[in-house]
Structure formats: C-alpha cells, structure tokens
A and B are shown apart, each in its own frame.
Chain A
Amino acid sequence: MPKRSILHMFDPMPNNSPFDINMALDAGFDVLMPYSNVKLENVHHLTQDIIFSRGPSGAKKTAIFIGGRDIGLAIDMLQACKPAMVPPFEVSVFADPSGAFTTAAALVACVEKVLKKHHGKTLDNCKALVYGGTGPVGIATGVIASLHGANTTLIDHLSVDSANDTAKQYNRLFDAHLKGAAARTDAEKAALIEDADIVFCTAKAGIKVLNSLVLSQAKQLKVAGDVNAVPPPGIEGIGFNDFATHIENATQSEKALAVGALAIGNIKYKLQHELLKSLLDTDTPLYLDFRDAFNKARTLFNYE
C-alpha cells in the first residue's frame, strides 16, 4: 500500500484553525494531525520525530504546517524546524499563522497588480501606509511592501510607541525599512494620507478606519486595498468585490482605485491552496513563509 500523505499541524494556540484544516484536506493531504499548545522549544524534537519514522521516500509525503496568531513566533518556529532536519530525512514546512501570510501576500500582490496595470508603477519608492499595521496581517503586509521598495509606515490606532517597536522588531528580523506612526483621530489619519500612494487596510473586521472625510484629504492616492470582509468595509465607499474600481470618496485623487476584501480573499484562497499542494508535489523540501507566499501570489497574476 502506498504511504498516505500526512500534514503535522503545529499550533501554539489551544486549537488549530478550522479554516486551515479545510484548506489542507482540500489540497490533497490524506491525514491531518493537530498539535496544540506547541512551544518554540518543542519544535526541534517534534520535527525529528516526524522525519525519522517514514524513510526518505515517506518524508516526501510528510509536511509540517505552522499556525497560531503570532507571526514572529511562527517565523521562529519555521526557523527552528530547519536545523532539526537530517538530510535526506527532511520534510517541507509552511508557516501561515491565522492565514496572515497568505492574506498579506494576496493583498500586496493585488495592489501591485493594479498599480502596474493602471498607473504603470511598481511598489518601488511608493509611499505606503498600513492601517492596522501592528496586527499579524498588517505586519506581514508591511514587511512585503518594504522589501519590494515601498516607503512603508505601520500605523497603530492607539500608540506610536507600539508602532515604532513593531517596526524596529521586524526591520531587524527581515532587513526591512519600516517606520511607525499612530493615527488616533481623523485629523491624524488625514495628515498621514495626504501624500500616500498606497493604503493597505488590515484593521479589525467591521471597523470603518478611513471615512470619506479622511479619504478626501489624499492628494496622490493610487491604490487602496482592504482585507476586512465584514460590513462596514474599512475604507468607506469601497465594495467587497472591487478590483481596480474608482474610489469616489478620494475626491482629490482622481485615479485612486480600490481592491476589496473578497477580491483579495479569492487570491488568498488560491494561494494557500497552491502552497499546500506544493508541499506534496515538491522533490526538494520547501520552507515557506510570507515572502514565498508573495512570490507565488505574483505568479497567480502571471508575473515572473
């Protein structure tokens, strides 16, 4: 009997996300094994237990998924898997805590696509703002944008210290160039948005972050993407299915275009599916984080 494929799902939280479970089974894994309350120091041992029980050919049908809520921890866990491998006893690992990596990758890829097609620009040297920038999706979005040349600011809705700390922490981890800022009031939001080219909205679901008044202050806005799928949208006036749709509320930025949450969600879904499948299809072990997710998302748009 051929060996069945197994996905070992590490999660620092008490439970895995049912979203990831459905995705993993639909990508073709035969058996899912949840491991909850996993700590960073457990990862080495768990990984070695995984690689030594099936032989190198069985290892090809075995992979590790890292979930949770904390993207720093997820990256640390992914890193901790690597030295535990003993080639040829080696398996692929994919980190996507709360789906944040694939969501961020899909968001940036959608925005980049619209930017290129309708404005003839790349992310390079654009001024990008990430509202909800200290949450998991926001941080990953900021790092991807920064690594592709955008002058990116993570915005916290309460504390500039928290934004600055987060920016510093992830700059150190990924060689990014993030800045931090706080936007507590419409006036503060308006001041930030004035010369922004790109707005990423990754705040909590159901909160209107940018109202029409704030949007009307944007003087050179080109593309805004919002990942919030629960009404009302995070950016007033944009539709969940928008893709390169004109933002009427940005009255001073005639060419501002929106990407809505369902358009992004559709790419995110395909992306996560493809990445999970790649764990089964690959001949050499893969270690996938949000940077790989972004590269894959670009290929979904027929980029290189």
Chain B
Amino acid sequence: MEKPFILHMLTTAKNLSPFDVNMAMDAGWISAIPYINVEPSEVRGLVQDAIFSRSPKGLLRTAIFIGGRETKQAMDMLKMAKNSMVPPFEVSVFADPSGAFTTAAGMVAAVEKELMDKFDTTLEGKNILALGGTGPVGQAATVIAAQAGAKVRLIGRQLDKAERIAELCSEEFGDGKISVTAGADADKAEYIQTADVIFATGAAGIELLSSDLIAKAPQLKVAADVNAVPPSGIAGLDAFDNGKPLPGSISGAVGLGALAIGNIKYQAQSRLLKKMLESDQPLYLHFEHAFEVAREFIKSTNY
C-alpha cells in the first residue's frame, strides 16, 4: 500500500486557517495535521521529527505548510525548515502566511494580464503605488512586482514604518536585487500624478483611494483591490470587477476586485499544494513560486 499523503501544518497563531485546511484537502493531501502556537525556535525539532519517521520515498508523500500572520517570520521559518533537513531525509515546505503570498501573486498576475490586454504593455518600468503596503499582502505584492521590473513605492500611514518595510522588501525578501521606495499616505496626491498601477492591500473597510484622487491620476492603468468587504479600498470598484473601466478615471484605467483576484489566488495556492504532492524532489515554495504558478494559470486559460 502506498503511504498516505501527510501535510504537517504549522502556524504561529492559535489556530490554523480553515481556508488553508480546505485547500490542502482538496489538493489531494489525505491528512492535514495542525501544529499551533508554534514558536520559530521549535521549527527544527518539528521538522526533524517529521523527516526521521519515513523513508526518503515516503518523505516524497510528506510535506510542511507554514501559515501564521507575518511575512518575515514565515520566511524565516521556511529557511529554518530548509536548514533542518538531513538529506536524503528531506520534505517539501510551502510558506503562505494568511494566504498573503498567493493573494499577492494572484493580484500581481491579474494586473500584469490587464496591462497586456488593455494597454499592450508589461510591468517593466511601471510606477506602482502599494497603498496599505505595510501588511503581509502588500509586502509580498511589492516584492513580486519589483522583481518583475516595476518601480514600487510602498505607502503607509506612518512614513518611518513604510521605510522600514520597504527596506525589508528590498534587502531581505528581494535579496538586495530590487529597490523599493517608501511614501506616506498623506502624500498620495503627489504620487498619484505618476502612478501607472495601484495596489490596495490595506485593512478591510478602509477606502485607500478616493474618487477625488482617481480623477487626478493622469496615467493610471490598473487599480487592484484585495479587500472583499465593503466599502472597497478603491472608490467605485466592485469586488466582482475584472478589468471593468474604473469609474471616474481620466486615463481609461481598469479595476480588479477582490473576487477576481481571489480566483487566481485560489488557483495559485492549489497548484503549489499539488506541486508538493507530485514532485520527485523536495521543493521550498514562497511568493516567487506563487507568482510563477499564477502566471501559468493565466496563460493556460481565457480567464
């Protein structure tokens, strides 16, 4: 009998996200086992317990999922997990804290598609404002877009915090190969003058981009919002919008709502969970891989 597929699901929070559990089961994992309130320092022990009770062949049917809420913590835990492997005793690990990595990947891939479909251009050299960009989705989207060649400015209510996170994105997540700038929310009116793309990744129920500002954006092309709870983060944008003209835009910008982005996010997360099932070698997956599969999904369909 083939050994059952086991996904060990680690989170620093006091519960797993049921979203992730459903996703894992639907991707084909037979058992999804929760490990809650996990301290980063416990990762090594848990990983080594997981790898030494199956043969290398059985370990191909074993993997670890890292949830939690914080981007940096999840990336650190992913690294720690990787360093704890004792080849050939090694399993795949996928980090997606709060689903932020796959959500960000879904958003950036959807924006890229709209740029191509409606404006015949790419992310390369585009000015992007990441509004509410200091949270997990904002951070991952910033890095993914910057790695695709965009010039991203990460906007937060407190400038010093935005600066700190922009540096974290550039140096830590972008490995020093990208350069993200920061800006204060109070100065959006100035930045909107040159913005090509808006990411709205703030907390639910806060309007980050008003109709007033939309009307002052002369070169805005795509505005994307991950908030599915009304009011939307971008004035006039509906959660179902999927490339619909943005009301009040003077430059013919289109909008992407949370449910349109959510569909791609769903596909990206499902594909990465399946990849770990099918791979014949251990994989270490995070936002970059999420973006790859989100792009693949978009290419594969007339979505």
Q: Given the complex of chains A and B, what is the CA–CA distance between A7 and B53 in angstroms?
A: 18
Task: Name the segment of B44-52, B67-75, B271-279 touching the other chain.
Answer: B44-52
Contact indicator B4/A25 (Cβ below 8 Å): yes
Contact indicator A23/B37 (Cβ below 8 Å): no
- Bitwise, A11-49 to B at CB < 8 A (1) or not (0) is 000111111111101100001101010000000000000
Q: Given the complex of chains A and B, what is the CA–CA distance between A14 and B41 in angstroms?
A: 14
Q: Say yes or no: is A269 at the interface (Cβ < 8 Å to chain B).
A: yes
Which residues of chain B from 1 to 55 have any CB-CB distance to chain A below 8 Å in the complex?
3-4, 6, 8, 30-31, 33-38, 42, 46-47, 49-50, 52-54
Contact indicator B54/A26 (Cβ below 8 Å): yes
Q: Say yes or no: is B242 at the interface (Cβ < 8 Å to chain A).
A: no
The minimal Cβ–Cβ distance linking A287 to chain B, given in whole angstroms, is: 23
Q: Given the complex of chains A and B, what is the CA–CA distance between A281 and B3 in angstroms?
A: 19
Q: Say yes or no: is B232 at the interface (Cβ < 8 Å to chain A).
A: no
The minimal Cβ–Cβ distance linking A159 to chain B, given in whole angstroms, is: 25
Interface size class for chain A? 10 to 19
Decide: A26 near B36, CB < 8 A? Known: A18-B53, A19-B49, A19-B53. Answer: no
Contact indicator B3/A25 (Cβ below 8 Å): yes
Q: Given the complex of chains A and B, what is the CA–CA distance between A19 and B33 in angstroms?
A: 12
Decide: A25 near B8, CB < 8 A? Known: A14-B36, A15-B38, A18-B46. Answer: no
Q: Given the complex of chains A and B, what is the CA–CA distance between A31 and B32 in angstroms?
A: 10
The minimal Cβ–Cβ distance linking B44 to chain A, given in whole angstroms, is: 12
Q: Say yes or no: is B139 at the interface (Cβ < 8 Å to chain A).
A: no
The minimal Cβ–Cβ distance linking A35 to chain B, given in whole angstroms, is: 11
Interface size class for chain B? 20 to 34
Partner of A18, one of B3, B4, B50: B50
Decide: A26 near B35, CB < 8 A? Known: A18-B46, A19-B52, A269-B53. Answer: no
- A residues near B42, Cβ cutoff 8 Å: 15
- B residues near A20, Cβ cutoff 8 Å: 53
Contact indicator B53/A23 (Cβ below 8 Å): yes
Which residues of chain B from 246 to 270 have any CB-CB distance to chain A below 8 Å in the complex?
none
Q: Given the complex of chains A and B, what is the CA–CA distance between A14 and B33 in angstroms?
A: 13
Contact indicator B53/A34 (Cβ below 8 Å): no
The minimal Cβ–Cβ distance linking B195 to chain A, given in whole angstroms, is: 45
Q: Given the complex of chains A and B, what is the CA–CA distance between A222 and B36 in angstroms?
A: 46
- B residues near A31, Cβ cutoff 8 Å: 31
Contact indicator A34/B33 (Cβ below 8 Å): yes
Q: Given the complex of chains A and B, what is the CA–CA distance between A22 and B31 in angstroms?
A: 10
- B residues near A15, Cβ cutoff 8 Å: 35-38, 42, 46
- B residues near A23, Cβ cutoff 8 Å: 53
Decide: A25 near B31, CB < 8 A? Known: A14-B36, A14-B37. Answer: yes
Contact indicator B33/A16 (Cβ below 8 Å): yes
Contact indicator A21/B6 (Cβ below 8 Å): yes
Q: Say yes or no: is B170 at the interface (Cβ < 8 Å to chain A).
A: no
Q: Say yes or no: is B58 at the interface (Cβ < 8 Å to chain A).
A: yes
Closest to B3 in A: A26
The minimal Cβ–Cβ distance linking B25 to chain A, given in whole angstroms, is: 12
Decide: A21 near B33, CB < 8 A? Known: A26-B3, A26-B58, A269-B53. Answer: yes
Contact indicator A22/B36 (Cβ below 8 Å): no
- B residues near A17, Cβ cutoff 8 Å: 49
- Among A15, A17, A21, A269, chain B packs the most CB atoms within 10 A around the CB of A15
Closest to A26 in B: B3
Decide: A18 near B8, CB < 8 A? Known: A26-B3, A26-B58. Answer: yes
Contact indicator A25/B6 (Cβ below 8 Å): yes
Q: Given the complex of chains A and B, what is the CA–CA distance between A34 and B10 in angstroms?
A: 13
Contact indicator B6/A22 (Cβ below 8 Å): yes
Contact indicator B8/A21 (Cβ below 8 Å): yes
Q: Given the complex of chains A and B, what is the CA–CA distance between A19 and B31 in angstroms?
A: 14
Q: Say yes or no: is B103 at the interface (Cβ < 8 Å to chain A).
A: no
The minimal Cβ–Cβ distance linking A197 to chain B, given in whole angstroms, is: 31
Q: Given the complex of chains A and B, what is the CA–CA distance between A269 and B53 in angstroms?
A: 7
Which residues of chain B from 113 to 146 have any CB-CB distance to chain A below 8 Å in the complex?
none
Contact indicator A36/B36 (Cβ below 8 Å): yes
Q: Given the complex of chains A and B, what is the CA–CA distance between A26 and B57 in angstroms?
A: 13
Q: Say yes or no: is B62 at the interface (Cβ < 8 Å to chain A).
A: yes
- B residues near A25, Cβ cutoff 8 Å: 3-4, 6, 30-31
- A residues near B33, Cβ cutoff 8 Å: 16, 18, 21, 32, 34
Q: Given the complex of chains A and B, what is the CA–CA distance between A1 and B188 in angstroms?
A: 61
Decide: A22 near B46, CB < 8 A? Known: A15-B36, A15-B38, A32-B31. Answer: no
Which residues of chain B from 53 to 99 have any CB-CB distance to chain A below 8 Å in the complex?
53-54, 58, 62
Decide: A22 near B34, CB < 8 A? Known: A15-B46, A17-B49. Answer: no
Q: Given the complex of chains A and B, what is the CA–CA distance between A36 and B53 in angstroms?
A: 21
Contact indicator A19/B3 (Cβ below 8 Å): no
Using A15-B35, A32-B31, A34-B33 as known contacts, list a sample of 9 further A-B pairs with CB atoms less than 8 Å apart, ordered by residue number in A.
A14-B37, A15-B36, A19-B50, A22-B54, A22-B62, A25-B30, A26-B3, A32-B33, A36-B36
* 15 A-B residue pairings within 8 Å (CB atoms): A15-B35, A15-B38, A15-B42, A15-B46, A18-B8, A18-B35, A19-B52, A19-B53, A20-B53, A21-B33, A23-B53, A26-B4, A26-B53, A32-B33, A265-B52
Query: Which 10 residue pairs spanning A and B have beta carbons closest together?
Result: A18-B50, A19-B49, A22-B53, A18-B49, A19-B53, A15-B35, A17-B49, A25-B4, A18-B8, A21-B33
